[in-house]
């Protein structure tokens, strides 16, 4: 084999027949297994990162699904029989010379006994706030943090977030609220943008957000009528989570009745439950009345207004 530039990369090529040997990464799989008040970690016996701690993980084998490989690797390394619950994430690692990807699932214990396998020095259960040092891989830390975030959100929360003395009720949007949201879109500050989006696309986006805890939609009811909504986004930064109000609309006939204020208050409560110290809202499309409303709710008077809620 010799080195040649093929398709923009240096690859191994047979000079006799022209065969190109593509070096493709083998997918690895891992699991975050909760046991008692912590997660299961193994101390690696072999390189890379021998002696470091990490999630039960390893490479897939031919004929396995990713879930089957994750279950097998966990049993081989920890002695635990687990069942995968949901996909936490797919993470890339390495550089242009050597790279790969790891698929990590959340899993629950179904049986077995916790003990270090042949390729592990030790195994243990650790609180997520007190992980052992050193940890082996960045991708494992990313998955653990994502798992902690998702598990915190999986705690059952009431659909009704707020009910005022004036009879305004704010709750999480349900699938049957799609037609009410469609009717409220023309009352957004930039209603022209809403009119440019086909209704079927808006409906698809709405239902997609119903299953995304980082993009919740709340609706406000007055006398049983859905007359307002607020759409939020949560994103993780290097210093923590941030919350943003994406859209806020109240039907004209229901304004000045406390719906907008109730929606903002419910959004603040939701942000506080996510440990967000700041709530942002873009006011560039707001009318003078809208700006006065934002100020009355506690937002600073800027183009991208902020409210400190920590």
pLDDT digit string, tens, across residues 14-28: 999 999 988 777 899
**Residue 38, both tokens:** 């912590």
Which has more pLDDT, 196 or 268? Answer: 268
For 136, residues 6+ apart whose C-beta sits below 8 A from its C-beta are 44, 48, 49, 52, 53, 54
Same domain flag for 204 and 71: no
User: Of 140, 111, 131, 130, nearest to 31 (Cα)?
Assistant: 140
Q: Tokens 């986006």 label which residue?
A: 205
pLDDT tens-digit readout, 2-57: 999 988 888 899 999 999 988 777 899 999 999 988 999 999 999 889 999 999 99
Distance of alpha carbon 100 from alpha carbon 26, whole angstroms: 7
Quick one: pLDDT band at residue 68, thresholds 50, 70, 90? Answer: very high
Region of poorest pLDDT, from 92-101, 180-189, 206-215, 247-256: 92-101
Element (H or E) spanning 211, and its range?
A: none
Mean pLDDT of 260-273: 93
92 and 206 share one domain: no
126, 154, 182 - which closes a domain = 154
**Tell me, what's the pLDDT at 194?**
47
Specify the 3-state DSSP secondary structure of 14: coil
Least confident of 55-69, 186-200, 260-274: 186-200
Q: Residue 107: what pLDDT?
A: 94
Confidence of residue 99 (pLDDT cuts 50, 70, 90): confident
Q: Quote the mean pLDDT of the chain.
A: 87
Question: Same domain for 37 and 114?
Answer: yes
Same domain for 169 and 117: no
Task: State mean pLDDT over 157-168.
Answer: 84
| CATH number of the domain encompassing residue 240 | 3.40.630.30
Average of per-residue pLDDT across 162-166: 90
Of 106, 139, 154, the last residue of a domain is: 154
Among 104-108, 111-115, 306-310, which stretch is predicted with the lowest mean pLDDT? 306-310
Cβ atoms within 10 Å, residue 29: 27
Half-sphere exposure of 111 (CA within 13 A, CB side): 0
Question: Looking at residues 100-107, what average pLDDT do you find?
Answer: 92
Which residues are paired to 242 by β-bridges? 235
CATH (domain of 70): 3.90.79.10
Residue 197 pLDDT > 60: no
How far is the C-alpha of 229 from the C-alpha of 215, rounded, in Å?
Answer: 13
pLDDT tens readout for residues 128-152: 989 999 999 999 999 999 888 777 6
- Distance CA(147)–CA(104), nearest Å, equals 10
Q: How many CB atoms lie within 10 A of CB 113?
A: 8
Query: Based on the structure, what is the number of domains in the chain?
Result: 2
Please report where in the chains the tokens 């009910």 appear, as a residue: 163
CA distance 306 to 243: 10
State whether 86 and 148 are in the same domain. Answer: yes
Band of residue 95 on the pLDDT scale cut at 50, 70, 90: low
**Interatomic CA distance for residues 99 and 8, integer angstroms:** 17
Statement to judge: residues 37 and 81 lie in one domain: yes
The confidence band for 64, taking pLDDT boundaries of 50, 70 and 90, is: very high
Burial of 30 (0-12, 13-18, 19+ CB in 10 A): buried
Q: What is the mean pLDDT of residues 186-190?
A: 81
Least reliable range by pLDDT among 34-43, 118-127, 275-284? 275-284
What residues form DSSP beta bridges with 249?
229
Distance, CA of 140 to CA of 212 (rounded, Å)? 22
Q: Are 130 and 220 part of one and the same domain?
A: no
pTM of the model: 0.56
How far is the C-alpha of 38 from the C-alpha of 129, rounded, in Å?
A: 9
Q: For the chain, how far is it from start to end, CA to CA, in angstroms?
A: 61
15 with 84, same domain: the answer is yes
Q: Does one domain contain both 192 and 92?
A: no
pLDDT above 60 for 161? yes
Note whether 173 and 285 are same-domain residues.
yes
pLDDT of 155 above 60: no
Q: What does the pLDDT read at residue 249?
A: 93
Instruction: Check pLDDT > 60 for residue 193.
Output: no
E strand map for 176-239: 217-222, 225-237
Supply the range of the domain harboring residue 76. Answer: 2-154
pLDDT for the residue 152 = 65
Question: Which H or E run includes 49?
Answer: none
Cα–Cα distance list, 52 to 24, 122, 125 (Å): 26, 10, 15
Which one of 154, 171, 197 terminates a domain?
154
Token pair for 269: 């409560």
Q: Are both 7 and 111 inside the same structural domain? A: yes
132 and 108 in a common domain: yes
């Amino acid at each position: 084999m010799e080195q040649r530039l093929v398709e923009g990369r240096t690859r191994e090529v047979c000079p006799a027949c022209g065969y190109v040997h593509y070096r493709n990464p083998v997918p690895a799989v891992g699991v975050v297994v909760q046991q008692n008040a912590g997660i299961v970690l193994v101390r690696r016996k072999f390189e890379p990162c021998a002696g470091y701690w990490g999630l039960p993980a390893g490479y897939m084998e031919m004929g396995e699904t990713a879930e089957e490989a994750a279950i097998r690797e966990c049993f081989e390394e920890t002695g635990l029989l687990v069942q995968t619950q949901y996909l936490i994430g797919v993470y890339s690692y390495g550089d242009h010379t050597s790279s790969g990807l790891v698929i990590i699932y959340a899993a629950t214990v179904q049986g077995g006994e916790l003990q270090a396998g042949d390729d592990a020095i030790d195994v243990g259960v650790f609180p997520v706030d007190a992980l052992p040092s050193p940890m082996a891989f960045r991708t494992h830390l990313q998955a653990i943090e994502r798992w902690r975030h998702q598990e915190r959100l999986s705690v059952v929360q009431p659909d009704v977030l707020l009910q005022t003395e004036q009879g305004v009720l704010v709750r999480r949007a349900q699938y049957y609220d799609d037609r009410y949201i469609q009717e409220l879109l023309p009352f957004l500050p930039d209603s022209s943008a809403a009119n440019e989006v086909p209704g079927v696309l808006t409906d698809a986006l709405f239902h997609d957000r119903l299953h995304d805890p980082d993009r919740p939609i709340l609706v406000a009811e007055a006398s049983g009528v859905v007359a307002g909504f607020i759409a939020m986004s949560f994103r993780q930064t290097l210093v923590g989570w941030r919350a943003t109000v994406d859209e806020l609309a109240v039907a004209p006939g229901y304004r000045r009745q406390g719906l907008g204020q109730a929606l903002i208050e419910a959004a603040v409560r939701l942000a506080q439950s996510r440990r967000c110290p700041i709530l942002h809202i873009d006011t560039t499309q707001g009318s003078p009345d809208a700006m006065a409303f934002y100020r009355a709710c506690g937002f600073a008077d800027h183009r991208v207004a902020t409210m400190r809620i920590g």
